[in-house]
Structure 1
Amino acid sequence: MPVGVVVRRLPGVTRWARWSWKAVAVLPGAGQADWKVLREEGDAVEYHAATHVMSLHAGETEAYIHNLTAQEPSIYVIMRHRAGCPPLEVVLVTASPYEAQDYTDNGEDLVERVPMPESLRGVIADFIDRHHVEEPFVKRRRDKARVDRVEDGRGDPRIAQTTDVYRAPRRRDEGDPTLEAAE
């Protein structure tokens, strides 16, 4: 389903950021657009930035259920900074909060949460009804291997140690009688 992304540009609040950009809405079934101005009020400008196809996958129905049962179901818009004008590129539009979380991990992409329109809620709910398969919970069983019999960090057992293996290394002094006795 094609989904248009509405991005709002506001004046920046610091001297280092001239503009503040934020995805504020999505337009289900929108036509193609390339930063078309929708509305201007003073310094605030809203653009129909781009239209992306939002794909739903049968393997991600659990994520869609999580999204629809949230207090405010959302569509996630992933944008990336780029050089030039306009300074943002819309990379992805998704209904999966898990997929959006993956994009927050790199720290460079902007992930914006936009309220989900009622028409998209119905489409996603129908998709879940057709494709969701409940996976039974399987409790993981612990294996019987005994790992407590190995003493890691005790040094190499082939080398005889006459002193504490946890001691800090010392510098060799020529007149130290304890080092001469150990050699």
Structure 2
Amino acid sequence: MPLGVVLRRAPGVTRWAEYSWKAVAVLPGAAEASWQVLREESGVNEFHAATLPLELHGSDAEAYLHGLSTKVPCIYVVLRESDDVTHPLEVTLVTASPYEAQDYADSSEEIVEKVPMPDGLIAWVRDFAQMHHHEEKFKKRRRDKTDIGATEDGIGDARISQMADVYRSPVQAKKERLQ
């Protein structure tokens, strides 16, 4: 599903940052756009910065359900800094998976913003996740019945006859014999 990403540019709070940028909304089913101005009000501008596809994968169904179970289900917008002065952020990815968003946040090269998911999008993601989610049965591991303490198998090197240092390598023992 194509998702338009809305970024808000507000005047900076400090003298070191001229502007403050934040992802504030997504537009499900949006057409292609490149930094289209949506609203201008007292120095605050909102842009339809980009439209990216929201791809859902059956293997990530558990992550989608986990994200939907939060108080406010969110879409995660991944942004990267760009060299363009007028548009300093590049929209890289949109995802409904909090696990994938965490992976991007861990790299610290990208900026990950949480944007509330619209109701229609919540229903679409929920239906997909429920259709593809398969609960895994808990399988308790059992210990092997072999007694591993009975013999000292594999300790030391059989080529070394001396018992003083069973962990010594054969090369070291050969050097000592030659001296």
Tell me, what secondary structure is at the counterpart of 1:33? coil
Matched, 1:70 2:59: no
- Residue matched to 1:102: 103
Q: How big is the shift at 1:138? A: 2.5
Q: Does the CA-based 8 Å contact 2:76-2:114 persist in structure 1?
A: yes
Q: Is the 8 A contact 2:3 2:30 kept in 1?
A: yes
1:47 is displaced (CA, Å) by 0.1
Residue by residue over 1:95-139, the C-alpha shift from the partner in whole angstroms, topping out at 9 and shown as x without a partner, is 000000000011121100000000101111111222111111223
Tell me which stretches of 4 or more aligned residues in structure 1 moved more than 6 Å. none
Unaligned runs of 5+ in 2: 153-163, 166-179
What residue identity is the alignment partner of 2:116? P
- Percent identical pairs in the alignment equals 58
- Which SS does the other structure have where 1:105 is aligned? helix
- Specify the SS of the correspondent of 1:63: helix
For the aligned residue pairs, the C-alpha RMSD in angstroms reads: 1.8
Question: 2:82 & 2:54 partners in 1: Cα distance?
Answer: 22
Residue matched to 1:180:
none
Give, in angstroms, the shift of residue 141 of structure 1. 4.5
Number of matched pairs? 150
Q: Deviations over 1:30-73 (max 9, x none)?
A: 00000000000111000000000000000000011111111110
Quote the residue 1:114 is aligned against: 115
- Trace 1:34-183 onto structure 2 (pairs within 5 A): 34-84=34-84, 85-141=86-142, 158=165
Q: Which runs of 5+ in 1 are unaligned?
A: 150-156, 159-183
- Give the TM-score normalised by structure 2: 0.78
Helix, strand or coil: the match of 1:77? strand
Whole-Å separation in 1 of the counterparts to 2:143 and 2:21 = 50
